[in-house]
Amino acid sequence: MNKDIATPLRTRAILEKYGFSFKKSLGQNFLIDTNILKKIVSFANLHENSGAIEIGPGIGALTEQLARSSKKVVAFEIDQRLLPILQDTLSPYENVEIIHKDVLEADVQTVMEEEFKDIDDIMVVANLPYYVTTPIIMKLLEDHLPIRGIVCMLQKEVADRISAKPGTKDYGSLSIAIQYYTEAETVMIVPKTVFVPQPNVDSAVIRLTKREKPAVSVKDEAFFFQVTRSSFAQRRKTLLNNLTSQLPDGKQKKEEILAALDASGVEPSRRGETLSLEEFGRLADELYPHFH
């Protein structure tokens, strides 16, 4: 059994050996607690025929745990300086492929087809760089990749927004966008003390389980998201105010917006944060003919 990468001692030794310095711009924080890594992996429910996609493997602490629990791991790493380190730390594991690319620019679909040929259970498991968490999650979902779901560590306040329920202060267009595609739950809170360097914020692990089909069926997905974003443009404003100020020609189409609110059974004086996904779905469908 190989010594875990994620112990404070081993992490320090690896960083010293390679003279590695953290890049603030890449949001690099490495986990130095093996138990937490094992827990993160356990939330993904992997088995010996599963594939795992990792984003930002760092020095391989989580990658190693994934390699032990799955058939194959494919990790995207943007920082060239980490490639030789990963080659060294992960040398005991035959089932790891490191791809030197920014996941936001990569054709993940093609990579999956090439790397996971005989694997049909695939999870994304990652300690995501905090500055690009949301774009990465949205890309993975909007590209309709054949994944079972995502287990990732991110900033606690973003996790709160992603798993928020209607009527709470954290609920917003991000909650809706992600819950449209997945069932979202925060499964664990992670203190900042288990990272080097320590981040300024607490972290959380969320699990997103992809729905068979989206939470609501809408006429036009892009327009549905446009309506939800518009509804939260200014949180203190009513739906009617937000929609008239945000939708194209909304001010001229106030009557049509009122009619659509009425037809979908939503009071114009309500605020965006009080509407469920279903209510937003109905509203977007009633508004759609007036804006297309």
Binding residues for S-adenosyl-L-methionine: 29, 31, 56, 77, 102, 127
Interhelix angle 34-43/61-69, rounded to 10 degrees, is: 50
Instruction: Write down the residue that tokens 């959380």 correspond to.
Output: 204
Which two three-digit tokens encode residue 180? 């449209």
Per 3-state DSSP, the chain is made up of helix, strand and coil in percentages (nearest 5) of 45, 15, 40
- Nearest to 191, CA basis, from 163, 157, 162, 156: 156
Residues that constitute the known binding site:
29, 31, 56, 77, 102, 127
Could you give phi then psi for residue 141, rounded to 5 degrees? -80, -45
Interhelix angle 173-181/277-291, rounded to 10 degrees, is: 100
- What string of DSSP letters covers 15-43? HHHTT----GGGT--EE--HHHHHHHHHH
